[in-house]
Amino acid sequence: MTYLSFLKSELLAVFYRKQDTINALAFFLIVITLFPLGVNPSADFLEPAAGGIVWCAASLAILLSVESLFKEDFNDGSLEQLIASGLYLPITILIKLVIQWCAVIVPLLLLIPLFSQMLFLPWSIVHVLIFTLLLGSPALFLVGTIGAALTVSLKRGAVLVLLIILPFYLPVIIFATGAISAAQAGQDYSGQLAILGAISLLSLALSPGMSAVSIKASMN
Amino acid sequence: MNWTWFHKFGSPKWFFQWADKWGKLIFYIGIALFLVGLVLGLGFAPEDYQQGNSVRIIYIHVPAAMLAQSCYLALGVAGIVFMVWQMKMAPIFMKAMAPIGAVMAFLALMSGAIWGKPTWGTWWVWDARLTSVLILFLMYLGIVAIQNSFDDTKLADKAAAIIAIIGLINLPIIKYSVEWWNSLHQPATFVIGEKPSMPSEMWVPLLFSVLGFYCIVTALVCWRMQTELLIRERRASWVKKEVTKHGV
């Protein structure tokens, strides 16, 4: 196995598991629907809350889609093969993660204009929402991967992953919604975007290695 | 520097006997210090000129809040020690420490709520400090959950250590972001941080009760570690000797 053949097989796997992407998007949509129904459907409430609602829904959808990142490979033994293959594990994890990110975030970004209209987010703010998702979501994927790697051997790990990983998502959510509300108030939001990028880079530095350690510990 | 005193703590047998000898003493010292602090604080310290008698809950609230933070620091350091040097006492310490830290964070939140009602007129505000303690509490719950959800002890130890280390890296970021969020969303509600300079009759009892809390937690951790050691080392000969000593 080489990195290239691994990349090819992963791309194929994602292509054949289109349902996972659809599930993540459907989950995202239903969480967004909860807020107008549960709290208040008027534009007065939704317009200032839209950024927060999108980000809460995105965090949950991302975490749930990352949670099962290694599950199938663990169950059918290909994770063991991957460790034995001699490829550098952090890199292969990163490849897997980038593919997963493209599979979930790209369709999500394409649908964001639609979702933001459902939440009465003004057109002039939509691009800020897209920037925050582009810069912040890598951190969510990277940190979530550590949780997925730790719980790969557990039958029911989803709730556990949510419990241990969500606290680490808070800074990203805070700065992302901060950027959006700054943009809504007509202020400069580049600082928040810079911090989001910094958090993503820090996660990029730490997460693949830690995930590799966790996976190796789970396989023993 | 001579590290032999520290290496001794890596030996389960040595630690068990050390905790047997000193645990109770530390506990009683802690109780005594805490009681002195309470008696001085509740009986002799002056009333606060603004908050009246309600300020006396500080003798529970502040030690609990300090312990909640110290325990997480200790967890993170123990996690690093375990991942770097594979010291087998480190995960035992983490297992003993995590629930106690959670209790301390809970105690800080509850006593803070009880204190908040008469002074601010509300049980809870989304203030930066309160929110970060709440998140700290949730992080403790996560560590306890991960320690208890694996059948394989080795894996549970590693998982808890990794999460504790990530938590240690993340705590400053979370704290900073929450403070920033707070200043954005909540302009000028309550400034809890700025204490008026306390007279010594107020801070001396506080010092006593903080030290008392530290001693009590140390003793509790020692005892919980002893229990965990007996479970994990149940096949070792020193455990059999230790158990049969008490005539079982």
Q: Which of A153, A163, A174 is closest, CB to CB, to B142?
A: A163
- Kindly state the tokens that stand for B20: 């047997």
- What burial class does residue B91 get, using C-beta atoms within 10 Å of its C-beta: 0-12 exposed, 13-18 middle, 19+ buried? buried
Nearest CA to CA, how far is B137 from chain A (Å)? 10
A175 touches B at CB < 8 Å:
yes
- The set of residues, in sequence order, having a beta carbon less than 8 Å from that of B43 and lying 6+ positions away, is none
Average pLDDT of the residues in A204-210? 93
Range of the domain at B104: 20-47+54-187+201-245
In a domain, B180, yes or no: yes
- What pLDDT, on the 0 to 100 scale, is given for residue B189? 45
Counting the structural domains of chain B, the total is 1
Q: For residue B8, is it within any domain?
A: no
pLDDT along chain B (248 residues), means of 10: 73 85 91 91 75 80 91 94 90 94 94 85 83 91 91 89 91 84 59 58 84 94 92 85 76
Q: Which residues of B touch A214 (CB under 8 A)?
A: 158-159, 162
In angstroms, the CA B185 to CA B72 distance is 28
Check A146 against B162: CB less than 8 A apart.
yes
The pLDDT assigned to B82 comes to 92
Mean of pLDDT values over A72-85: 88
Decide if B27 is inside a domain.
yes
Does this complex have an ipTM over 0.85?
yes
Compute the distance between CA of residue A81 and CA of residue A70 in angstroms, rounded to an integer. Answer: 13
CB spacing of A170 vs B178 below 8 angstroms? yes
pLDDT tens string A160-206: 999 999 999 999 999 999 999 999 988 889 999 999 999 999 999 99
Contact B145 A210 (CB under 8 A): no
To the nearest whole Å, the CA of B228 is away from the closest chain A CA by 22
- Nearest C-alpha of chain A: how many angstroms from B177? 5
Structure tokens that stand for A156 in this block: 């029911």
Separation CA B87–CA B143 (nearest Å)? 19
Give the closest-approach CA distance of B204 to chain A in angstroms: 36
Of the candidates B142, B155, B163, which has its C-beta nearest A153's C-beta?
B155
The pLDDT tens digits for A119-155 are: 999 998 999 999 999 999 999 999 999 999 999 988 8
Q: Do A160 and B149 touch (CB under 8 A)?
A: yes
Indicate yes or no: CB of A217 within 8 angstroms of CB of B149.
no
What pLDDT does residue A22 have? 92
Q: How many structural domains comprise chain A?
A: 1
The CA distances from residue A138 to A51, A151, B28, B92, B200, in Å, are 18, 20, 51, 34, 51
Interfacial B residues in 71-90 facing A (CB < 8 Å): 83
Percent of chain A at pLDDT > 90 equals 64
- B139 inside 8 A of chain A by CB: yes
- Inspect the interface and report whether the beta carbons of B154 and A220 lie closer than 8 Å: yes
Question: On the CB side of B109, how many CA atoms lie within 13 Å of its CA?
Answer: 21
Structure tokens at B227: 């229990």
Q: How far apart are CA B37 and CA B12, in angstroms?
A: 34
Query: Which of A167, A175, A181 has the CB atom closest to B138's CB atom?
Result: A167
CA nearest to A204, candidates A73, A53, A101, A75: A101
Domain that holds residue A139: 3-219
Phi, psi of B52 (to 5 degrees): 65, -140
How confident is the model over A4-18, as a mean pLDDT? 89
| String of DSSP letters for A48-105 | HHHHHHHHHHHHHHHHHHHHTTTHHHHHTTHHHHHHHTTS-HHHHHHHHHHHHHHHHH
Across the interface, do A163 and B141 touch by the CB < 8 Å criterion? yes
Cβ distance A151 to B167 less than 8 Å, yes or no, reads no
The minimum CA-CA distance between B42 and chain A, rounded to whole Å, is 37
Residue B53's pLDDT is: 75
B163 is written with which tokens? 């999460």
